Amino acid sequence: MALVETIYKKISRVLPKSEKESSAVGLDIGNFSVKLVKSDIHNSKRTISALACEDIKGSNVGDAIKRAIDKTAIGEKNVNIGLSGKQIILRCIVLPEMDNNTFKSSMKYEAAKHIPFSIDEVVLDYSILKHKINTNKMLVLIAAAKKNYITERLRLISDLGIEAGVLDIDSLAVINIFNLIRDRSGQNNSQSSHKEKQGSGISVLLNIGSNISNLALLDGDLLRFSRDISFGGKDISAKISSKLKIDFNEAEKIKLSTDGNPDARFAIEASLAELVNDLRLSFDYYESQTGKTVNHVYLSGGGSCLNKIDEFMNSAMNIDFEVWDPFDGFEISQSVDKNMAKEFNQRFAVAAGLSLR
């Protein structure tokens, strides 16, 4: 339990690591696959030096992790891992300005108002994102994870001889890599800057996983609203399987193909319509609270590999949707599978964000 207690103190710090000589490994343990990214910093240059994506066969998650580590031969026994799902709570709240001692002493009480679990059942962390918003108020981020969930995750990697460097929330990992790329693209002016696209509205990050989609609304570079949506690539495949009366694995292949099967396309669009409804509810709620509108959504995750998903979502919601590359601005090492890094980069947004820590 000593390891668990040590890791509890490391959960969910908001900022990426500083620009210095270093390297770190991010391990995204999903429901369908395990993604691994190792990133290095040398002379302020960032390099992806290891990359792996291994499908989880049956329920043997540990075997998929071991295959990813063996394939990349990373050598490190310390990895950063992500957390998401119903066991995780991430909230942005507004509190009156207070001194640091008062802030720390009051947070357990304040957090209990926003967490649907007993405060004794969770690992709690918090951070002040911004002082003096509105009138004498501050924006505070609260992160909480069920202790039993963390213990299970740590036991999983411990059984493989690995230790956790940092536990992070998937949404925060995606935010960190997005903000890094946006800021660097703005500085280098090598491509159209995300910052210019944002204008004065809210930008949205939607990371579509296998079972869960992580939604984060950013005002500038600050998180203002976050939730996990019970929708993912498996829902789309299940709809195709039902419509075409084929098995799930065949539906997975059809989902990512570009053959234009009209029945498959109908099933895909019917499934995405459910995601659209969830997004509308979230956007309407936020806009009613702040008066700010959503004008751009950035897609990542395995679900964003779906052919023309951005075009469908653009049409359905009348909002700009864009698939973005979490490796933009990184050098790719000669030892890395270039095809995977180019064709399936969206899958690695969480793992890439974790590797910044």
pLDDT one-digit tens code per residue, 104-132: 999 999 999 999 999 999 999 999 988 87
**2-191+328-354 classified as CATH 3.30.420.380:** yes
Domain with CATH 3.30.420.40 in the chain: 192-327
More confident residue, 132 or 269: 269
CA distance 62 to 86: 21
pLDDT one-digit tens code per residue, 73-99: 887 778 999 998 889 999 999 999 999
pLDDT one-digit tens code per residue, 194-209: 444 444 468 899 999 9
Q: What mean pLDDT do residues 50-74 have? A: 90
Q: Where are the alpha helices (DSSP H) in the chain?
A: 2-8, 61-72, 100-112, 147-158, 170-188, 194-198, 233-244, 248-255, 262-290, 309-317, 338-343, 349-354
**192-327 classified as CATH 3.40.50.300:** no
Domain with CATH 3.30.420.380 in the chain: 2-191+328-354
CA distances from 320 to 7, 198, 285, 312 (A): 39, 11, 19, 10
pLDDT one-digit tens code per residue, 11-43: 444 445 555 678 899 999 998 999 999 999 887
Going by pLDDT thresholds of 50, 70 and 90, the confidence category of residue 10 is very low
Q: What mean pLDDT do residues 267-289 have? A: 93
> Smallest Cα–Cα separation from 194: which of 208, 211, 175?
175
Q: Is the pLDDT of residue 168 over 80?
A: yes
pLDDT one-digit tens code per residue, 174-194: 999 999 998 776 655 444 444
CA distance 49 to 42: 12
Provide the pLDDT for residue 185.
Answer: 67
Provide the pLDDT for residue 216.
Answer: 95
